[in-house]
Amino acid sequence: VQGVGFRPFVHRLAVQCRLAGRVANTTDGVVIELEGDENDVARFRRRLTADAPPPALVAAVNVESAPIAGRTKFAIDASDAEGGVGIRVPPDLALCAACRRELFEPGNRRHRYPFTNCTACGPRFSIIERMPYDRSRTTMTTFTQCQECELEYTSPSDRRFHAEPNACPACGPAVALWDRNGDRIAGRADAIPAAADLLRRGFIVAVKGLGGFQLLTRADDEAAVERLRRLKQRPSKPLAVMAPDLAAAERLAELGPNERRLLTSAENPIVLARRITGRLPDAVALSLNDIGVFLPTTPLHELLLAELRGSVVATSGNRGDEPIVTDEHDAVTDLAGIADVFLVHDRPIRRRVDDSVVSVIDGQVAIIRLGRGYSPLPLPALEEFDGPTILSLGGHQKAALAFWNGRQAVLGPHVGDLDSQPTRAAFDRATDDFASLYRCAPEVIGCDLHPDYFTTRWAEQSGRRVISVQHHHAHVAAAQVEHSLLKREVLGIAWDGTGFGTDGTLWGGEFLRVKGARIRRMASLLPLPLPGGEAAIRHPGRIAFALLHVIGRPLDSPLLERLGVAQRQASILSAMLQRGVQIAWSSGVGRLFDAIAALVLPLAEATFEGEAAMRLEAIADPNVGEAYDIPLRTFGALAAGESAVPRGDWRLMIAAILADLERDMSPAVIAARFHNALVGWAVKCAELHPNLPVVFAGGCFQNRLLTERLATALRAAGRECLTPGLIPTGDGGLAAGQLAVAMARLDAERWGGKGAQ
C-alpha cells in the first residue's frame, strides 16, 4: 500500500474517528496504533478497508491488543528502516486527473510545470534508492522543498501530504533542451515549445521519460518515421504511437472498453489494438494489423503533445538491443547520430524501466512486456513458501528476474536480450539492485537448463546452490502462478520458438503434465530440421526449404525464389540435409510458424523475433473455419535418450499448403487454416488428458487469434482453460516459473517428497 497516499488516508480517518495513535511504514507493512473509544475503533476498522484510496490494495488486516500508550494525538511516524523488506515496492504511476487539471490551469502555481505529482501519481520504482519509500531515500533527496511545498507535504488534508516526489517550479526539477553536443538551447518555459516545434518540423527528439529515454518523432510524417527507422536500424519492427489523449488514440485504433480502460489507467501501458488503416503512414506498423498506442506518461509528455497537437512515434532510447539510456549526459553520446535534440531534466532516474506492452486477449489483460507501471509485479501465490531466499534469472532473450526474499515474491521488469555486453552489465546491476532493494542476498539461484545461456553460466559462477528448470516447465509453472494453480496438476500447452529439453534436443511444441516439481512430457511436435542450427531463425526461407526436403518435394526455381534461396545455396542446403550435418532439430511451434510464413507470405528473412507469427496472424481471415490436419502419431525415440512421445505430424499439412498455393488460394485462407490446424491438434491432445485444467504458456500465445480460437474450442469441449495474464507468457515470465519450481523442489527435499525430478 506504499506510495499511494495510504498513511495520509489513515491519518485523516483516525482524526475523523477521534482516535489517537500513530501510523508507520515498517518492513512488515503499515502498522497502525490506535487509542480511543471502542466504537470509534470499530468504525475506523470498517472504514479502513471500505474507504481506502483507489490505488491502495489492502491485502490483509491483523488486529492485536496493546498496552495503552496514553497518546492524545494521531501522528505519522518516520519510516522504520530496519530488517528485510516485507512491504511492496510501489510502481511508477501516470499523471492523475487532478494533477492534469492543475497542469493546464492558468494561475495555478504548477501551471505547465512538467514534474507535478501527488500521492495518486508520479515516479516511484524508478526513483527509489532504498526501501521503505520515503523522500529521503529517493533521487528527490537533493531537491529541498520550498515553504509552500513543505506545507502541502505536512498537511494531512492535502492530496500532496507525504507525496514523496512533491515539487514545484520554485524548488523542484527543471527541464532543458539540449542540442546534439549537449549544449543548452532552451530552458524552463521555452524548452517544451521549442521541442514541439522541432517535432512539428520532422526532427527526432530524445526525451528523458520516467524510466529512461524515448525517441520521438511525428507519427503522421512518413519521412520522419522512415528516418527514425533508418537511424535506429529498426527496419520493420512495429513502433508504438503516443497520442495526446483518448480521443486521438481512438482515431488510430479500434478500442474496446478494456483497451480504453488500460490506456487511461495509472499503469499507462502501450496497448496493442487493431489499427484503423489510412490514419498513419505505413512506415509505423508496416504490414501488421495491430498498432501499439499509449497516452502521455508524465506531465512532461502531456505538455509536449498538447503543444504539438498531434501524435508521435515513440521508441525506446537505446541503440540496437542495448539497454535504454537513463542519464542525459550518456544520452548525448549513446544516442548520437539518432537524436537531433535532447529534452532533458535534472531528476535522476535510479532504475531503468521500459514502457510496458499489453494486449487484451481472451477478454483479459495479457502483459507482453513487463515494465513501467506494473513492475515489480507481486507474486502472492508464491508467498506461502518458508524456505531459503531465491533469485531466478529467466531465459536469455527478454531476460527478467524474479526474487523471493523470505517475505515477498516479485517479478522484475524486462531487462533485455543478453547477447550484448551492455545488456549483460545491466543484468548484473539488476541482480545487485534486487538484493539491495529487498535487503536480502539470495541463497539459491534458479535458472534455465540451456547450457549456453548467459544466465546459466552466471548461475554456475555465483557460488550459490543452483536449481535449473527446464524451459517449458518454467513456462507452465509461471501460468500456474498466474492462476493460483500450484497445488493442482495441470495440462500445460507450452508453445514457443525454442527451449532446451531434458533430452538435450530443442523443444517448443509441448504438452506437459505438471504438478509442482514434477513434469511429464505427454506429446510434442514432430521435430523440424533447422539447417545451420538456431541461426536458421533469421532465415524462415531455409526452414521451409528443409521441410519441403523432408516431404520429398522437388524445389523448382519459382519455389526457390519464393523462399529467397539462391540456386547455389540450395545445393549446399540439400547436401546438409542429406548428410544430416549442421542440422539442429526443433519441435518449436514458433519454427513451424516461420516455415509457413516463408511459404505463404512469403517471408525469406525475419528482422525481429516473432515477425513470422505476427504477420501470419495479421493476414489470417478470421471467418475461415476449415483446418489442415495435424495427426498425432507415435514414432520411436527420435533422439538418443529421448522417450517416444506422440508427435503432431505436420508433413501432410505442408503438402496441402503447397497444393493450395498452386491453385492460387488466398494467403488469408491458408494462414487461417494453419491457425485452425494447431487448434485441432491441441484439442486432440487435451482429450487424452481429461479432467485437468489446461493452461497456455510460451510466446506463441501472444498470438490473439490462436489463443482465443484454442480457448473457445477447449471450452466448447467442456474444459477448464486458462489464458495468459499479468505474468508475461513469453520468456519475460520464465523467472516467475523458475521461482515456483525451485520452491517446489526445495519443499520436496525438505518433506521427503518424491517430486524432485
Please check whether residue 439 is in contact with residue 408, taking contact to mean a CB–CB distance below 8 angstroms: no
List 15, 81, 168, 669, residue binding Zn ion (CB under 5 A): 168
Nearer to Zn ion, 17 or 366 (CB): 366
403/649 Cα distance (integer angstroms)? 40
Residues pairing with 217 in the sheet: 313
Stretch that binds Zn ion, among 123-131, 144-152, 297-305, 515-523 (CB under 5 A): 144-152
* Cβ at position 471, least distance to Zn ion in Å: 6
Nearest CA-CA partner of 164 in 175, 153, 152, 179: 153
Nearer to Zn ion, 55 or 413 (CB): 55
* Cβ at position 751, least distance to Zn ion in Å: 30
Nearer to Zn ion, 20 or 96 (CB): 96
Q: Please report, in angstroms and rounded to a whole number, the separation of the first and last CA atoms in the chain.
A: 38
Nearer to Zn ion, 85 or 118 (CB): 118
- Beta strand residue intervals within 91-232, DSSP E: 175-178, 184-187, 205-208, 213-218
295 binds Zn ion per the rule CB under 5 A: no
* Cβ at position 171, least distance to Zn ion in Å: 3
591/612 Cα distance (integer angstroms)? 9
CA atoms within 13 A on the CB side of 204: 25
List 15, 75, 81, 171, residue binding Zn ion (CB under 5 A): 171
List 48, 99, 324, 619, residue binding Zn ion (CB under 5 A): 99
365/310 Cα distance (integer angstroms)? 27
146 binds Zn ion per the rule CB under 5 A: yes
Encode 406-417: b = buried (16+ Cβ within 10 Å), e = exposed: bbbbbbbbbbbb
Nearer to Zn ion, 33 or 611 (CB): 611
Nearer to Zn ion, 273 or 399 (CB): 399
Stretch that binds Zn ion, among 99-107, 264-272, 416-424, 558-566 (CB under 5 A): 99-107
* Cβ at position 569, least distance to Zn ion in Å: 29
740 binds Zn ion per the rule CB under 5 A: no
* Cβ at position 169, least distance to Zn ion in Å: 7
* Cβ at position 74, least distance to Zn ion in Å: 24
Give 641: exposed, middle or buried? Use CB within 10 Å, 0-12, 13-18, 19+. Answer: exposed
Stretch that binds Zn ion, among 213-221, 676-684, 686-694, 725-733 (CB under 5 A): 725-733
* Cβ at position 507, least distance to Zn ion in Å: 9
Residue ranges in 114-133 that form contacts with Zn ion under rule CB under 5 A: 118, 120-121
Q: Residue 464, Cα to own-chain centre: how many angstroms?
A: 28
653/630 Cα distance (integer angstroms)? 7
Nearer to Zn ion, 152 or 354 (CB): 152
* Cβ at position 39, least distance to Zn ion in Å: 35
Please check whether residue 490 is in contact with residue 694, taking contact to mean a CB–CB distance below 8 angstroms: yes
472/508 Cα distance (integer angstroms)? 7
The size of the interface with Zn ion (CB under 5 A), counted in residues, is 13
List 170, 336, 551, 717, residue binding Zn ion (CB under 5 A): 170
Residue ranges in 324-353 that form contacts with Zn ion under rule CB under 5 A: none
Stretch that binds Zn ion, among 169-177, 236-244, 341-349, 600-608 (CB under 5 A): 169-177
- Angle among Cα 16, 20, 23 to the nearest 5 degrees reads 90
Nearer to Zn ion, 340 or 731 (CB): 731
Please check whether residue 10 is in contact with residue 56, taking contact to mean a CB–CB distance below 8 angstroms: no
494/473 Cα distance (integer angstroms)? 8
Query: Does residue 752 sit in helix, strand or coil?
Result: coil
Q: At what angle do helices 667-687 and 611-619 cross, to 10 degrees?
A: 110
Nearer to Zn ion, 99 or 402 (CB): 99
697 binds Zn ion per the rule CB under 5 A: no
Nearest CA-CA partner of 242 in 213, 261, 209, 216: 216
611/604 Cα distance (integer angstroms)? 11
149 binds Zn ion per the rule CB under 5 A: yes
* Cβ at position 469, least distance to Zn ion in Å: 12
Nearer to Zn ion, 101 or 230 (CB): 101
Tell me the one-letter amino acid at 293: V
Stretch that binds Zn ion, among 127-135, 238-246, 552-560, 726-734 (CB under 5 A): 726-734
* Cβ at position 122, least distance to Zn ion in Å: 6
CA distances from 704 to 214, 360, 589 (A): 27, 8, 15
Stretch that binds Zn ion, among 59-67, 146-154, 244-252, 324-332 (CB under 5 A): 146-154
The helix, strand and coil proportions of the chain, stated in percent and rounded to the nearest 5, come to 35, 20, 45
Residue with cell 494531512: 156
Residues pairing with 490 in the sheet: 514
Nearer to Zn ion, 8 or 21 (CB): 8
Stretch that binds Zn ion, among 149-157, 283-291, 593-601, 673-681 (CB under 5 A): 149-157
* Cβ at position 44, least distance to Zn ion in Å: 26
Nearer to Zn ion, 499 or 527 (CB): 499
Write phi, then psi, for 329 (nearest 5 degrees): -75, -40
266 binds Zn ion per the rule CB under 5 A: no
* Cβ at position 637, least distance to Zn ion in Å: 24
Q: Residue 121, Cα to own-chain centre: how many angstroms?
A: 21
The alpha carbon torsion through 342, 346, 348, 352 (nearest 10 deg) reads -20
Query: Does residue 535 sit in helix, strand or coil?
Result: helix
* Cβ at position 344, least distance to Zn ion in Å: 20
Residue ranges in 477-516 that form contacts with Zn ion under rule CB under 5 A: 496, 499
Task: Look up residue 3 and give its three cell numbers.
Answer: 506510495
96 binds Zn ion per the rule CB under 5 A: yes
- Angle among Cα 732, 736, 738 to the nearest 5 degrees reads 105
DSSP per-residue letters across 356-419: PEEEEETTEEEEEE--TTTPSEE-GGGTT--S--EEE---STTB--EEE-SS-EEE----B-TT
Name residues whose C-beta falls within 8 Å of residue 374's C-beta, 6 or more positions apart in sequence.
Answer: 91, 267, 269, 356, 367, 726
* Cβ at position 48, least distance to Zn ion in Å: 23
731 binds Zn ion per the rule CB under 5 A: yes
* Cβ at position 708, least distance to Zn ion in Å: 21
Site string for Zn ion, 618-647 (x = CB under 5 A): ------------------------------
Residue with cell 500532496: 160
* Cβ at position 361, least distance to Zn ion in Å: 17
Query: Does residue 256 sit in helix, strand or coil?
Result: coil
Tell me the one-letter amino acid at 427: F
448 binds Zn ion per the rule CB under 5 A: no
Nearer to Zn ion, 608 or 635 (CB): 608
* Cβ at position 149, least distance to Zn ion in Å: 3
Nearer to Zn ion, 59 or 170 (CB): 170
Nearer to Zn ion, 118 or 555 (CB): 118
Nearer to Zn ion, 424 or 473 (CB): 473
Stretch that binds Zn ion, among 78-86, 164-172, 444-452, 739-747 (CB under 5 A): 164-172
Q: Which parts of this chain interact with Zn ion (CB under 5 A)?
A: 96, 99, 118, 120-121, 146, 149, 168, 170-171, 496, 499, 731
